[in-house]
Amino acid sequence: MNENAEKLDKEKADLFHSVVAKLLYITKRSRPDIETAVAFLTTRVSKSDVDDFKKLKRVLPWLKQTKDDVRIIGAKSVQELYTWVDAAFAVHNNMRSQTGGAMSYGYGMIHCRSNKQKLNTKSSTVAELVGTSEYVPFSIWMALFMESQGYKLSKSILFQDNESVIKMELNGRDLCTGRSRHIDIRHFFVNDRVKKRVLIVEHCPTELMIADYFTKPLQGKTFLFFRNLIMGYEHISDVLTNIRLAAKERVGKRYMTAKSNVPKWAKSYKEALLTRTYSEREKESNRPEKRKLRFLQEPD
């Protein structure tokens, strides 16, 4: 975004404002695939410039080309709700982050959101924690709404791609030390919902994080892959299956947790815990500065 770009005259600025308002209506009703672009354009209606007008003119041909595309929303079961939340750190000129969120019962997203965060954060971890606190209330509202209609949820899963954020949400303020002490307690209400078993927090690989679509512009196969899921052209079952497989792979690569599995190269159980895999340890052991680790005695 160029702050020195030429501002639009009043006539063009009014036209820009009018078209963006119409796009916002379309986005919320039938075209969530343009949510990210429209979310940015709505922040520029009071100070639009020639660059913003060019961006608007890029959205309109896309809508014209895909005017026959329909939005599909469906579910195999209304008792399982899936939510994805992500954030792009410091992507705006004032160094604020962008939050993206999406919810689905199976086919298509029943709710999507892309918005600029209202405070500056010091890291991507804090940005995602703030983004979660902003979006999760929509998920809770949806669960309460469906319950009032007679469909009580049996499972509500929140997917995140940042492991540090997941640990904070599971453990609350107790995990905050050093660089995360400053985080406002209001951003830890997710921890309360986890304790009450309202939410289940799970890890989702970045390449399968649907909310990433709403945090920044994507291109190529990634754009089309997420768009098909958001518009309901493909069921999210494949994504959920891949998330489960990725979770098993992550468990396989984690630190060893059983003393019976201590390999021969490890001097102690503690040394084995500090190493992810045998191959990684062998590579490190060939470095001179790492050889001493083999002869370290386990502290009392």
Using the 3D structure, point to which of 251, 268, 284 is the last residue of a domain: 251
**Please, which pLDDT band fits residue 263 given cuts at 50, 70 and 90?**
low
Give the C-alpha separation, 73 to 131, whole Å.
25
Average of per-residue pLDDT values in the chain: 82
User: What is residue 264's predicted lDDT score, i.e. its pLDDT?
Assistant: 55
Same domain as 273, residue 171: no
Shared domain for 45 and 105, answered yes or no, is: no
Report whether pLDDT(49) > 70. Answer: yes
pLDDT digits (tens, 9 = 90+) for 31-40: 999 999 999 9
Residue 21 has pLDDT above 50, yes or no: yes
Task: Please report which confidence band the pLDDT of residue 72 belongs to, taking 50, 70 and 90 as the band edges.
Answer: very high
User: What pLDDT sits at residue 296?
Assistant: 37
CATH code: domain of residue 138? 3.30.420.10
Residues 81, 101: one domain? yes
Same domain for 30 and 118: no
Bigger pLDDT: 196 vs 177: 196
Residues 228 and 169 placed together within one structural domain of the fold: yes
* Number of domain units in the chain: 3
In a domain, 4, yes or no: no
Which pLDDT band, with edges at 50, 70 and 90, does 182 fall under? Answer: low
Q: Which residue has the higher pLDDT, 282 or 204?
A: 204
Is 3 domain-assigned? Answer: no
| pTM for the predicted model, two decimal places | 0.79
pLDDT-based confidence at residue 168 (cuts at 50, 70, 90): confident
Q: What residues are paired with 100 via a beta bridge?
A: 86, 114
Domain boundaries, position 277? 259-295
pLDDT tens digit sequence for 74-94: 998 899 999 999 999 999 888
